[in-house]
Structure formats: structure tokens, C-alpha cells
């Protein structure tokens, strides 16, 4: 499954956050939660729609979509040149599909900051610089070979790749990540795919705040503007670690007392899932209500293939009702009577929240 790497300078709260994510009963609910390796955790994607479907269909079980988080230690100044855990860090982060940077905004005299004081914009720069330097090294290594191949074979596609790599190099030299600058510079990231560049991955940011800062709208706006167009999530990792020890109703009460509607962890998983370019469709019956992961834009047969490759191979059609139409009608039978249940063929592009039953040949 697709994964998000949790990266950041030392002592910013990465491990606190990762441990809270992977110990969280609500996120791991009814899913055989697994820690694959000490630094990899599988987390259920919170989806309130599943409980509603389970009610309508009398399902015995709820199975959410899942995604992986990887705790990536070792980013410090000089990591791109092998300082600290440099090489291990680079190998770990290269394998993830998106990068979540944890940025410290909390003050605590008992927790030292590697660079002396708490300064979010400087830390963002430090990490971006390391990722940019690592990408520049990758490019410098690959470019002569790519260039030679493209020229000797006069291969149009390869020449387009070389042009894209040169444009990427220029952008990175100017200190801009590919995530932030590729679109404006007209660089097609798909041409760079084979290089596995770090700054071409989708970014999102977690700002680890003091509790008192959680409702500081001016601060949030300022931090948000530092990282746009990336998504920003604001939380207090210490409080998140406390919240997961509480029963649901008490946790909600504590959150609301701090002016929050949803836990930071839940926001992180939800927004992280969307950042990966993923969406879900739903199936429901007496056995289980379940969310299935597909990439945004997937067709009905591709969606069927997520359940079983035979479903894709033998796909005939899909019986589909949107979650909103189904819940408005109250039951599958009522949705049918209301003409809300559609038969869709192999070219249908799935929509988030489609409730589906596939028809297929075996």
C-alpha cells in the first residue's frame, strides 16, 4: 500500500506523533493493525460513512481503507552528504509516496532544539535544502548518461526527459522544490519519474504547536502561508498522545474544550490519504461495510480489480448508488424505487463515496 514518510529535524515530535498514530484504537478499529517494521505502521482511514452503511445493511464488521506511515529519522543539516543517519535516511524517504514534514512550533525549555531556538520558517528551509541537495546529486549523477543516450539514439522521448531534467536542475539550483515549482515552470513530473526525486513527491506539513496556540488563527495563517500549496495540519503531539488513552466521548470533550472538532491524528490520516491522490469506494452487506482504496480517476473495472483480479477480468457492469443518495433514501430498495441506482459499464470513472456491487463472469 502507499505510504507517507514522517520526516523532520530531531526533537520536533515525530516519534510522539508516530507512536500515537500506530497505538490509536480509533484509527486501528476493527482492522488487524500491524506494525510491519519498528518504523512502519498501518493505519485505518477514518470514515464516518462506514458506520452509517453498517447500520443500513446490518453489517457485522466495518473495514476501513488503510495507509502506511513510516517514521523517518535522521534528517539534519548535512544529511544529503551523509551526516547523521544520512544514507539510511535518504533510502527510507525515497521509498515513500509522500513526505509529511513535522515542524516544531512548541516552546519547551526541557526539549532542546538542534539549531538553538524554535523557528519554523528556518526549519522548513533547512529540510527543503537537504531534500533539494539530495535531488541535485541524483540529477548530477544521472544527467550525463541520460544526455548521451538521448543524443546517440536521437530518441525524442528521451530528449524530452533530458529537457525536463535540465529544467528541474535549474529550479532546484534556485532553491525551489519540484513540488512547489514544477507546475509553474512547465515541468512534467511524469518525465522525471525514473529518478525518484524527493522534492517531486507530494508534501504535507504538521505544525506541532503549544496547546495555547491551537486556536491562534493569525499564527495558523502565517504558518500556512509558509508552506502553501502544501496542506498544513495543526496539532499538539503531546495532547494527541493523551487523547488516544481516553474513551471516544471523553476525547471529543477534551478536543472541543480546546476549540477543535477533530483530532490532529484523524486530520493527518484523512488529508494524507487525499495527498496521495487516493479516494475510496464502498461496499456493504450483512457481513461487512468496507472502504476500498483506488487512485482518483480509476475506472469501474480497475476498482473491481482492487477486490480481486478475477472481478476485473470478468467485469460485466457495476451497480452503483452514491452514498448521499443511498442514505437519503434510507435503504437500497428505497434508492432503487427512487431511480438512484445506476448500472455502469467499463468506462465509468469512479466517484468518491460510490456504493458498489460488481457483476462479473467467473
Footprint of ligand GDP on residues 219-238 (CB under 6 A)? 236-238
Which residue of 2, 16, 136, 352 would you call a contact of ligand GDP, by CB under 6 A? 16
CA separation for the pair 146, 161 (Å, rounded): 8
11 annotated among ligand-binding-site residues: yes
Determine if 10 is a binding residue for ligand GDP (CB under 6 A).
yes
Angle (CA) 241 19 89, round 5°: 135
Q: Of 34 and 111, which has the nearer Cβ to ligand GDP?
A: 111
Shortest spacing between CB 210 and ligand GDP, in angstroms: 7
Give me the 325-354 binding string for ligand GDP, x by CB under 6 A, dash otherwise.
Answer: ------------------------------
Torsions phi, psi of 262, nearest 5? -135, 140
3 annotated among ligand-binding-site residues: no
Which residue of 25, 108, 157, 174 would you call a contact of ligand GDP, by CB under 6 A? 108
CA separation for the pair 300, 44 (Å, rounded): 23
Determine if 15 is a binding residue for ligand GDP (CB under 6 A).
yes
Footprint of ligand GDP on residues 186-215 (CB under 6 A)? 208
Q: Of 120 and 353, which has the nearer Cβ to ligand GDP?
A: 120
Shortest spacing between CB 238 and ligand GDP, in angstroms: 4
Which residue of 14, 49, 201, 290 would you call a contact of ligand GDP, by CB under 6 A? 14
Count of positions on this chain that bind ligand GDP (CB under 6 A): 15
CA separation for the pair 280, 308 (Å, rounded): 16
Shortest spacing between CB 14 and ligand GDP, in angstroms: 3
14 annotated among ligand-binding-site residues: yes
Contacts of residue 233, Cβ cutoff 8 Å, sequence gap at least 6: 204, 205, 206, 207, 264, 267, 268, 271
Shortest spacing between CB 108 and ligand GDP, in angstroms: 4
Shortest spacing between CB 162 and ligand GDP, in angstroms: 39
Determine if 112 is a binding residue for ligand GDP (CB under 6 A).
no
Determine if 11 is a binding residue for ligand GDP (CB under 6 A).
yes
Q: Of 138 and 208, which has the nearer Cβ to ligand GDP?
A: 208
Span of 11-19, 216-224, 277-285, 286-294 interacting with ligand GDP by CB under 6 A? 11-19
Which residue of 34, 36, 51, 111 would you call a contact of ligand GDP, by CB under 6 A? 111
Determine if 105 is a binding residue for ligand GDP (CB under 6 A).
no
Determine if 13 is a binding residue for ligand GDP (CB under 6 A).
yes
Exposure string for 290-325, b = 16+ CB within 10 A, e = fewer: bbbbbeeebbbbbbbbebeeebbeebebbebbbbeb
Determine if 166 is a binding residue for ligand GDP (CB under 6 A).
no
CA separation for the pair 195, 203 (Å, rounded): 17
Q: Of 72 and 90, which has the nearer Cβ to ligand GDP?
A: 72
Torsions phi, psi of 284, nearest 5? -150, 145
Q: Of 120 and 301, which has the nearer Cβ to ligand GDP?
A: 120
Shortest spacing between CB 235 and ligand GDP, in angstroms: 8
Shortest spacing between CB 175 and ligand GDP, in angstroms: 25
Positions that interact with ligand GDP (CB under 6 A): 8, 10-16, 106, 108, 111, 208, 236-238
Annotated binding site for ATP: 11-16
- Binding site feature residues: 11-16
Amino acid at each position: 500500500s502507499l505510504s507517507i514518510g514522517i520526516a523532520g529535524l530531531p526533537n520536533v515530535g515525530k516519534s510522539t506523533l508516530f507512536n500515537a498514530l500506530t497505538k490509536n484504537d480509533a484509527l486501528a478499529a476493527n482492522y488487524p493493525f500491524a506494525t510491519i517494521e519498528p518504523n512502519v505502521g498501518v493505519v485505518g482511514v477514518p470514515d464516518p460513512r462506514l458506520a452509517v452503511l453498517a447500520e443500513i445493511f446490518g453489517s457485522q464488521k466495518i473495514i476501513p481503507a488503510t495507509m502506511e506511515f513510516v517514521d523517518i529519522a535522521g534528517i539534519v543539516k548535512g544529511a544529503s552528504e551523509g551526516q547523521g543517519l544520512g544514507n539510511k535516511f535518504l533510502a527510507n524517504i525515497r521509498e515513500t509516496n509522500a513526505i509529511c514534514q513535522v515542524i516544531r512550533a512548541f516552546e519547551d525549555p526541557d526539549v532542546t532544539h538542534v539549531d538553538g531556538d524554535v523557528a519554523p520558517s528556518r526549519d522548513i528551509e533547512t529540510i527543503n535544502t537537504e531534500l533539494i541537495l539530495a535531488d541535485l546529486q541524483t540529477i548530477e549523477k544521472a544527467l550525463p548518461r541520460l544526455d548521451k543516450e538521448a543524443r546517440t539514439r536521437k530518441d525524442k522521448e528521451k530528449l524530452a526527459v533530458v529537457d525536463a531534467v535540465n529544467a528541474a536542475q535549474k529550479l532546484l539550483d534556485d532553491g525551489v522544490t519540484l513540488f512547489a515549482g514544477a507546475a509553474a515552470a512547465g515541468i512534467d513530473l511524469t518525465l522525471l519519474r525514473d529518478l525518484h526525486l524527493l522534492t517531486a513527491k507530494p508534501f504535507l506539513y504538521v505544525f506541532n504547536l503549544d496547546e495555547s496556540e491551537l486556536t491562534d488563527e493569525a499564527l495558523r495563517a502565517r504558518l500556512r502561508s509558509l508552506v502553501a500549496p502544501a496542506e498544513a495540519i495543526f496539532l499538539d503531539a503531546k495532547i494527541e498522545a493523551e487523547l488516544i488513552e481516553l474513551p471516544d466521548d471523553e476525547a471529543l470533550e477534551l478536543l472541543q474544550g480546546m476549540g477543535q472538532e477533530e483530532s490532529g491524528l484523524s486530520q493527518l490520516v484523512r488529508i494524507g490519504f487525499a495527498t496521495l491522490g487516493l479516494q475510496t469506494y464502498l461496499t456493504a452487506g450483512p457481513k461487512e461495510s468496507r472502504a476500498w482504496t483506488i487512485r482518483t480517476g480509476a475506472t469501474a473495472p480497475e476498482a473491481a480489480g482492487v477486490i480481486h483480479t478475477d472481478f476485473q477480468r470478468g467485469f460485466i457492469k457495476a451497480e452503483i448508488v452514491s452514498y448521499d443518495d443511498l442514505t437519503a433514501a434510507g435503504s437500497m430498495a428505497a434508492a432503487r424505487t427512487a431511480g438512484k441506482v445506476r448500472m455502469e459499464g467499463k468506462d465509468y470513472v469512479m466517484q468518491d463515496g460510490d456504493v458498489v456491487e460488481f457483476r462479473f463472469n467467473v
